Amino acid sequence: MSTIQEMPAVIDYPRYINREQSLLEFNRRVLAQAKNPDIPLLERLKYLCISSSNMDEFFEVRLASLYELANQPGTSTRPDNMNPKEVIAQLSETAHAVVQEQYNTLNHILIPDLQKENIRFLRRNHWNDVQRAWIKKFFIESLQPVLSAVGLDPSHPFPRVLNRSLNFIVSLEGADAFGRSNGLAIVPVPRSLPRIIKMPNETSNGENDFIFLSSILHANVSLLFPGMTVTGCYQFRVTRNSNLFIDEEEVDDIMSALRGELSTRDYGGAIRLEVADNCPPHMVEYLLDRFNLDEKALYQVNGPVNLHRLSALPDMAQRPDLQFAPYSPRQSTKKNLKKSFKLFMRHKKSDSLFERIASKDVLLHHPYEAFNPVVDFLKEASQDPDVLAIRMTLYRTGKDSEITKALVKAAQNGKEVTAVVELRARFDEDTNIIQATRLQDAGVHVVYGVVGYKTHAKMILVVRRENDRMRYYTHLGTGNYHQITTRFYSDFGLLTANQSVGRDVSKVFQQLTSLGETKDLEVLLQSPFTLHSGMLERIRREAENARQGKPARIIAKMNGLEEQEIIDTLYDASQAGVKIDLIVRGICSLRPGIPGLSENITVTSIIGRFLEHHRVYYFENSGQKPELFCSSADWMRRNLLARVETCFPILDPDIFQQVYTEGLAIYLQDNTGAWKLQPDGTYLQAIPEGRPGFNAQLAMIDKYSE
């Protein structure tokens, strides 16, 4: 067993952990990867960039939602029942600490370590004459033509500043071309400009010398204000509320309404102001006033105001020795299938993927196995003369999606194709609108789910005529049909010809398109109808078994756990003696390890090369017939009660064992990438003791690389 650093036993805690506070703790675990010397250096930089991107979303979405909640009298947060204004104050303190840690990591750990590897950021006070001349020429030729400085006066009011865009506030002395003295100007920087520039070899002492765009602009900003004297130049960035506001009950066309809202997303209410830490107080106060923000929304930073843009550096540096070794997902469709998917397909000309699935369920474990079989499943369906209909949900797909192309081809080939496209997938709305329009133009029946309920389920249903009867072939998954994220997210996908599963999925699609009531599903659990109650029923059954002295165990893996009734029922099960192991990557509002409440519960978070994304739920069921489910749904209120989700049982015995081993058991052995949640809401990293370190993700890579 791994050993966790000791903490004093304190049990006087609130019953629940605030979900936003838990989210910030998750980001701390991501940031810790940037300081881990066992991780390749450029990968550590990527973790810093991810933590920066996560913080952006935290302010844009989570903190913005809390501000909205705070404006509604008598409201409180879930599940901890706190006053939103008190929560905002607490989160502000934590968020400031996280941001400070990010810049300390950059300035005192990563930049010095990069310099040891001859990857350098050249500071202005270290430029030689040759470099200074090249930089000025670069500014004049590549930057100045696209920069539009705005001098502030009654004719030039403070400009509308885009969400998360780089800007400079400039103080000036002297008169402009019209004899006026303005004093201040704003220089917005287009997003199209790179934030780091690689110096050419002829001007540098090394192959990997870089300059921050902000440094170039600082050094040459006076060229934008001829005849005036620049007395100060300071970068700033404002983060805005990015939530979209659509009253679905009041709009006739959700696509048109979304298009209208997307055009205003970049100009939502200001939530955070980031500004250079050397900016004078009076200019900081000026900016805060312009954005109607108070001091707790101010983040003064020592470095680029958008660390995420440093993610371009690994590709620019071309140092593969400082990155993870490339990993190519295995192409086989089954662990014990000794030939690749393509070889199987070529084994006999009469063979088809449908025959393969009809003979036995196929499990795909991404990213260790390729996503190609899912695309091939759709491609074969689009060309098979016996396939009559294809139905599919699309939540996130990507801009140039092979999935979309296959559906278009199927419609062109005369198949009855229905796509349930979730237009409201956050930050993918524009892409999904484009995909939906493309599908409609090809003759696909496109619907947008159910008003008030995001369609988050991951389903493909193929209806095929075989021997004068209809047969269902189904794909169900825990992750999105997005070929990029399948390379980095851990997810399960099941291809099955089980007709009970197929009939259930067919009923769910009928519900989504006709809005008719779906009753009596045979094996699937579905949100918002039976999934929540189905999970509660099974947790309570484990508790009753424990009280009767029968075997009782729950192991559950998910991205987030926040739904209050689920947590309370897990607490009750713990008190009944049920051993409960939860593997929760991100938000977790449950407090484990509290005597008399949750002493039988452990919570583990796995942080590694891949983003842990699958949802797997195991119930011992007195040892007679254990149950194992995979799902698109976390144990979050939104997933269980406010979305359309599916949860499907693993019925094949071989696949049952594989999912249990690869989706649950292996993570409970991890003692290097695992973090253990403490009763006070903090996390401590597991430390190997008495045995070699074991990393679940590395073990999976080794297993699938054999």
Name which of 142, 190, 188 is nearest 169 in CA terms.
188
Distances (CA, A) of 167 to 231, 238, 304, 317: 17, 9, 11, 26
- Distance, in Å, from the CA atom of 629 to the CA atom of 419, rounded to the nearest integer, reads 25
- Distance, in Å, from the CA atom of 186 to the CA atom of 190, rounded to the nearest integer, reads 13
Q: Where are the alpha helices (DSSP H) in 81-192?
A: 84-105, 111-116, 129-138
* DSSP category for residue 93: H
Distances (CA, A) of 483 to 370, 448, 487, 513: 9, 22, 7, 26
Told to judge if 456 belongs to the known catalytic residues of this protein, a careful annotator would answer yes
**Integer Rg of the chain from CA:** 28
- Distance, in Å, from the CA atom of 79 to the CA atom of 88, rounded to the nearest integer, reads 15
Distances (CA, A) of 291 to 111, 131, 160, 284, 530: 32, 38, 10, 11, 46
Beta strand pairing call for 119-121 and 208-212: parallel
- Distance, in Å, from the CA atom of 447 to the CA atom of 435, rounded to the nearest integer, reads 12
- Distance, in Å, from the CA atom of 211 to the CA atom of 197, rounded to the nearest integer, reads 5
Catalytic residue among 218, 308, 456, 475: 456
Neighbours of 541 (CB within 10 A): 19
| CB burial of residue 479 (10 Å; 0-12, 13-18, 19+) | buried
Helix (H, G, I), strand (E, B) or coil at 475: strand
Neighbours of 403 (CB within 10 A): 23
Find the distance separating the first CA and the last CA of the chain, reported in whole Å: 27
| CB burial of residue 360 (10 Å; 0-12, 13-18, 19+) | middle
Chain centroid to Cα 419, Å, comes to 23
Active site residues: 456
